[in-house]
A = this chain, B = another copy of it.
Amino acid sequence: MGLNLPIALDAMGGEKAPYSVVHGAKIALREVPELTFRFYGDEALIAPLLHKLKPLRDVSEIIHTETAVHMHEKPAVALRQRRDSSMRLAINAVSKGEACAVVSGGNTGALMMMSKYVFKTLKGIERPAITAFMPAQQRDVAMLDMGANVDCGPEHLLQFAIMGDAYARVVLGVQRPKVALLNVGAEDLKGHGLVQSAHQLLKDSNLPIDYVGFVEGNDILEGTVDVVVTDGFTGNIALKTAEGAARLIYNSMRTAIENSLSAKIGYLLAKPALTMALRKFDPRAHNGAILLGLNGIAVKSHGGTDAKGFANAIQVAVKLVRQDINTRIIEELNQMHSHNKPETSSIIPVISAATTSETMM
């Protein structure tokens, strides 16, 4: 058995918490025996759940907290007023070295703001981005930003490209990921000022990444590329629209099958093959988005997920810890600096600037 892998869990975050969190930890532990857990939250709720789960109980500690961040609380308010919440103390555990990563299914904005405040951004990265992976025709695709930054400058998209490249190598295991910018057309002249400027930056930056230019919305799920870079507004809408399309098709098929006897019988015959084929679209299998670009690993689980989904988010955290994602990103940033000749480095001033780890209080 290798070294311990202590993970801090916000036991109060998510609709089915703390049940989904405790049972998610149980599932993850079966896969990764090195895991140990620190559960942050209401001990009176967590202890009875944990009590029944023998192997998990032995590697777990409960840290009682009186408060939790509400799902609809404003992030700035949560940052100021929830310093002793389960979410905040779980984040603090990572900065104190008591855990390798934090996983929470709670308020996304609050997790983002608190993590940024506690961890600070990596040197050379101005803004963290929510990075997730989506199922595609051939293999999974990493996409960022999924909603952390609704307003972006071209330099942020450049930083997202660097982070996404490292993420695809670490989490998806792609040797040399193809990185693209999301746009309304593949031709060089398409799109608005933001993508045009970012495109130019990426082409001129001598980055050690395989930047392939623009892709369109349909390319995301076709798996034409490995990393899709976009601003948080567009990324969030693309993700939710894809989820909506999948749900609409499923629901239409389900209704059709329920209303026809021969379709019902047909479905039973086709079910094993279909279940296998559609498994990759199970949102639980893609649960766990990382807040990329911070001096610490924070993984966001979907608020509505169950134990299986939460276990997947823990496993995403494990991969990121084991592969040392942040060191990879820093290496890539440094490589870019050494590749850039002095006369070209001025075009990427933001990367050259010091870390912008201003407080947000």
A interface, CB within 8 angstroms of B: 72, 74, 135-137, 147, 150-151, 182, 184, 187, 189-193, 216-222, 230, 232-234, 236-249, 251-253, 255-257, 259-260, 262-263, 265-274, 276-278, 280-281
A255 touches B269 (CB 8 A): no
> Nearest Cβ in chain B — how far from A191, in angstroms?
6
A278 touches B252 (CB 8 A): yes
> Nearest Cβ in chain B — how far from A236, in angstroms?
4
Q: Taking A216-B240, A241-B238 as contacts, is the C-beta distance between A270 and B277 under 8 angstroms?
A: no
| CB nearest to A219 among chain B residues | B244
A217 touches B233 (CB 8 A): no
7 A-B contacts (beta carbon < 8 Å) = A217-B241, A218-B240, A218-B243, A256-B278, A260-B272, A263-B270, A266-B268
> Which of B147, B242, B263, B278 has a CB less than 8 Å from the CB of A269?
B263
B255 touches A277 (CB 8 A): yes
CA distance A219 to B191 in the complex (A): 25
| CB nearest to A146 among chain B residues | B184
B276 touches A272 (CB 8 A): no
> Nearest Cβ in chain B — how far from A180, in angstroms?
13
User: Across the interface, which residues of B come within 8 angstroms of A247, CB to CB?
Assistant: 218, 221-222
User: Across the interface, which residues of B come within 8 angstroms of A243, CB to CB?
Assistant: 217-218, 245
CA distance A33 to B131 in the complex (A): 54
User: Across the interface, which residues of B come within 8 angstroms of A241, CB to CB?
Assistant: 217-218, 220-221, 238, 241-242, 245
> Which of B189, B237, B272, B280 has a CB less than 8 Å from the CB of A237?
B237
B278 touches A270 (CB 8 A): no
> Nearest Cβ in chain B — how far from A226, in angstroms?
16
User: Across the interface, which residues of B come within 8 angstroms of A257, CB to CB?
Assistant: 270, 273-274
Beyond A218-B247, A221-B247, A243-B245, 17 extra complex contacts between A and B, CB < 8 Å: A136-B248, A150-B190, A150-B192, A184-B237, A216-B236, A216-B237, A217-B236, A217-B239, A230-B237, A234-B234, A249-B249, A252-B277, A252-B278, A252-B280, A257-B274, A263-B269, A263-B270
CA distance A278 to B253 in the complex (A): 7
> Which 7 residue pairs of A and B lie closest in terms of their CB atoms, listed nearest first?
A217-B240, A266-B269, A266-B270, A256-B277, A218-B244, A263-B273, A217-B241
